[in-house]
Amino acid sequence: MSHPLETVCPLSRHSQDIIVWENDTTSIIGTSCAKLNRTSDTRGSLAEPGLLCVNTGRGERSYAACQGWGRVGGEGGGVRVLIEEVEKGTKSKAELCREHGIAQSSLSTILKDKDKIRAAVNQGTRQLKKQRTSTYPDVDKALLIWFQQARSMYVPISGPILIEKGEQLAQELGHTDCKLSGGWLDRFKQRHGIVFKTMSGEAASAKDIDTSEWEATLQKILEDYNPRDIFNADETGLFYKCLPSKSLTFQGQACSGQKAPKERVSLLCAANMDGSEKLPLLMIGKFGQPRCFKSIRTLPVTYRHNKKAWMTSSLFTEWVQKQDRRFLMQGRSVALVLDNCSAHPQVISGLRAITMFFFAPKHDIPSPAL
């Protein structure tokens, strides 16, 4: 049976390179990789000299034409199991080589570079990866420590910042001729599992907030109110014309999009603690009579408008007073938990059923020196 795929991987002519491929059931290591080819199906063994057959664990096969490669472990856990068996000493190296079908020279290479192999496998990669040591290992180590400290303080770090900081550290460590390139940056990120992501959420801001006063307030709320009578309300923006930012496209074709539309409305959402009740949405738009409302007599939301489609203190006060009348008719006493916002007045007169409680105010986190 022929394998339906043919995959090409980079040719390595550096004898010191360590190549590790980790999938669900198989780990392969080697010092020189040429090309993945089609061949006959011989599970877990060398089909012919220099040709390696690997079971991926998903009913598929991958094949590699290699020099100095060996298949290690299979379903037994891969190269990590082989290293552990050698360290246990229950079997001789010759027995392990025969059992796993590799040469003693390959086993020697594995044991010599076991720390590098373990580090590469522990990164969780599932693709071919070539691990090269840094030309300036002291700079690499110092920059990694600096990067960890910066991210622990939630400072956004980009590639150019890493390069600039790396060159600065290199000068301080005596490497006056060190010039870091984009290729070095790619290898640095690959070695340490660093990726570029979009920063989202405000969880980092909560770490510098004194919550002791709020904890006492929360305890009082939980003691005085039933979960069905504890509500939380907050605003969110809805960009109702926005399309997804990612799309399927053909290989080799540019994946171009259009400028993101900025039409938006604001929504005020509120629900109780046990999830049994959601209050009707308050929607705030820019226009008093949008064209889409033509011939519509009733709306499933409360609609208001202003020039910027933002929440204002007057609109919020109107909404709270309306909910207060609703809960008063139901004979309920309600706790309304809110965040500190200029559109949320701390005091609203005339409330009989609703008591407002506010989260601790947010504070800016000072940025560390870069």
Domain containing 73: what range?
18-131
Q: Is residue 187 part of a domain?
A: yes
Confidence (pLDDT) at 130: 52
Q: Compute the distance between CA of residue 127 and CA of residue 22 in angstroms, rounded to an integer.
A: 6
> Which residues in the chain belong to E strands, given as ranges?
18-22, 27-30, 32-35, 46-48, 51-55, 61-67, 70-72, 129-131, 230-238, 265-272, 282-285, 302-305, 334-338, 354-358
Domain boundary among the residues 152, 168, 192 is at 192
Decide: 103 and 89 in contact? Cβ < 8 Å. Answer: no
Tell me how far apart the alpha carbons of residues 368 and 349 are, in angstroms, rounded to a whole number.
44
128 class by beta-carbon count within 10 Å (0-12 exposed, 13-18 middle, 19+ buried) = middle
Is the pTM higher than 0.85? The answer reads no
Which tokens sit at 17?
A: 């390179």
CATH number at residue 153: 1.10.10.60
Same domain, yes or no: 63 and 35: yes
**Alpha carbon distance 195, 167 (integer Å):** 20
Identify the three-state secondary structure at position 10.
Answer: coil
Query: Are 224 and 307 within one domain?
Result: yes
Residue 258: the pLDDT is 76
Dist CA 352 CA 327 (whole Å)? 9
Same-domain status, 297 and 236: yes
Identify the H or E element spanning 166.
helix 159-172
What pLDDT digit, counting tens, does each position of 298-327 carry?
899 999 999 999 999 999 999 999 999 999
Q: Which residue has the tokens 């590098």?
A: 116
Q: Please give the pLDDT value at position 221.
A: 95
Residues 235 and 176 both lie in one domain: no
Which three-class secondary structure state does DSSP give residue 179?
Answer: coil
In 252-357, which ranges are continuous DSSP H helix? 313-329
Amino acid 261: pLDDT: 86
Across the strands, what pairs with 18?
A: 131
Task: Order across the sheet with 70-72: list the strands.
Answer: 70-72, 27-30, 18-22, 129-131
One domain for residues 340 and 214:
yes
Q: Which of 128, 132, 7 is nearest to 69 (CA)?
A: 128
Within this chain, do residues 109 and 184 fall inside the same structural domain, yes or no? no
* Residue 323 shares a structural domain with residue 212: yes
For residue 302, the model assigns a pLDDT of 94
212 and 354 fall within a common domain: yes
Structurally, the chain folds into a number of domains equal to 3
Which stretches in the chain have pLDDT values below 70?
1-78, 119-133, 199-210, 248-249, 362-370
Which DSSP letter does residue 76 get?
Answer: G
Residue 12 included in any domain: no
Structure tokens at 161: 């910042």
Q: Is residue 293 part of a domain?
A: yes
Q: Contact 264/238 with Cβ under 8 angstroms?
A: yes
Domain boundary among 81, 103, 131: 131
Q: Under a CB-based contact definition with an 8 Å cutoff, are residues 20 and 29 in contact?
A: yes
Q: How many residues does the chain have?
A: 370
Average pLDDT, the chain: 74
Report the distance separating Cα 92 and Cα 100, nearest Å.
12
Burial grade of 334 (CB within 10 A; 0-12, 13-18, 19 or more): buried
Cα–Cα dist 133/119, whole Å: 12
Give SS3 for 171: helix
Q: Identify whether the C-beta of residue 367 lies closer than 8 Å to the C-beta of residue 349.
A: no
Residue among 71, 38, 74, 79 nearest 52 (CA): 71
**DSSP secondary-structure letter at 328?**
H
Evaluate whether residue 197 is within a structural domain: no
Asked whether the beta carbons of 118 and 83 are under 8 A apart, the reply is yes
